[in-house]
Amino acid sequence: MRSRLAPSPTGALHVGNVRTFLLTWLHVRAAGGTLVLRVDDLDGPRVKRGAERDALDDLRWLGLDWDEAEGVLVQSQRGAVYEAVADDLVARGLAYPCVCTRSEVETAASAPHGPDGPRYPGTCRGRFSSLADAVARTGRPAALRFVAAPGPAAFDDLLFGPQAFDPHAETGDFVVFKSNGTAAYQLATVVDDDASAVDLVVRGADLLPSTSRQLLLHRALGLRPPRHLHLPLVVGPDGRRLAKRHGDTSVRALRAAGWTAPGLVGRVAETAGLAAPGERVSPRDLLARYDPARLTREPVVLDATAFAVAR
């Protein structure tokens, strides 16, 4: 088993991320697998200075390690690799330049849209011969969209069971290279999982629909897809994904408030039935208790009040 921890340094690591990373770590370490670190820092404007260093420091502080000998993939340093893959897709007619703005796509979409945005109706398909042609003829920056063939892309999630999202129907042709010149998440993650020989992807359940898009890319690129284990999200009492509005649950803030690593690992492990209330444990202590058959699919409800008293 080879998997990865892929923090996005767009903000501070919070207890929702900690739960995902702790369970990823347990799942891989309990199986004697290899865990690679990847830094998902492509989301340019949202990447915060210092957040990468803080995230890695928080992971180490919690006792979550990775196999350092495997090296670290830093996505912002892999532009040339992604560009070559994108060029290949365009050359094979599997991706095309698109100059539509976000609001034009919103306006053009006929159906109300789902969580992953409006469906792209294919406005720019067949319009341009190349990225340079698109920019020259419109004076606009151009993105690249992947042609999503009709029909569902099915997979068997290790926790959520059989899934079959239909990218063609849900998002339409999706962006694989952004108009600001960086690879989009879908392309980068597929290319990097392959580069690291990752055969099991563990991540939050918000990315279940993305998996079908990624499988289309694996297919187009002739890559063997990994297996998937999606974990339920941590949500606030309002049912929405844990965020600032639910109070500060960042590891930084909790450390500053006096939380110890075993206290925090214990509190998060409690939400997975792996620790007793008030128990202090290290990830290593939990290895003997971890049983993937006991993972549950329901979202975990927490907010800052669950962390009001440091331990």
Cα–Cα distance measured from residue 246 to residue 130, given in angstroms and rounded to the nearest whole number: 46
We find the least distance from the C-beta atom of residue 78 to ligand GLU, in angstroms, to be 14
- Residue 6, interface with ligand GLU (CB under 6 A)? yes
Choices 1-9, 26-34, 161-169, 241-249; region in contact with ligand GLU by CB under 6 A: 1-9
Return the DSSP state at 298.
S
Q: Minimum distance from CB of 225 to ligand GLU (Å)? A: 13
- For ligand GLU, the closer CB: 14 or 266: 14
Q: Which one, 198 or 261, has the nearer CB to ligand GLU?
A: 198
Smallest separation (angstroms) from ligand GLU to the CB of 139: 34
Is 178 catalytic? The answer is no
Nearer to ligand GLU, 43 or 279 (CB): 43
Q: How many CA atoms lie within 13 A of 1 on its CB side?
A: 19
Residues 106-125 that bind ligand GLU (CB under 6 A): none
Residue pair 88/220 in contact by the 8 Å Cβ criterion: no
**Whose CA is closest to 114, among 217, 210, 250?**
210
The DSSP code for 305 is G
Quote the least distance from Cβ 15 to ligand GLU, whole Å: 14
Q: Does 212 bind ligand GLU (CB under 6 A)?
A: no
Beta bridge partners of 227: 200
- Report the residue from 26, 40, 142, 168 that binds ligand GLU according to the rule CB under 6 A: 40
Applying CB under 6 A, does 189 fall inside the site for ligand GLU? yes
User: Contact between 8 and ligand GLU (CB under 6 A)?
Assistant: yes
Element (H, E) at 228: strand 227-231
CA distance 42 to 6: 12
Identify the helix (H) or strand (E) that includes residue 204: strand 200-204
Beta strands in 25-171 (DSSP E): 34-39, 72-74, 95-98, 143-146, 153-157, 161-165
Q: What is the largest CA-CA distance in the chain?
A: 64
* Residue from 27, 119, 168, 203 binding ligand GLU (CB under 6 A): 203
Does 171 interact with ligand GLU (rule: CB under 6 A)? no
Q: Which tokens hold the place of 180? A: 């600001």
**Selected catalytic residue, list 60, 219, 244, 284:** 244
In terms of CB distance, is 99 or 190 closer to ligand GLU?
190
Q: Give dist(CA 44, CA 26) in Å, integer.
A: 31
The DSSP call for residue 224 is P
| Window of 82-90, 203-211, 245-253, 263-271 that interacts with ligand GLU by CB under 6 A | 203-211
3-state secondary structure (DSSP) of residue 52: helix
In this complex, which beta carbon is closest to ligand GLU, that of residue 8 or of residue 271?
8
Catalytic residues: 244
For ligand GLU, the binding residues (CB under 6 A) are: 6-8, 40, 189, 203-204, 207
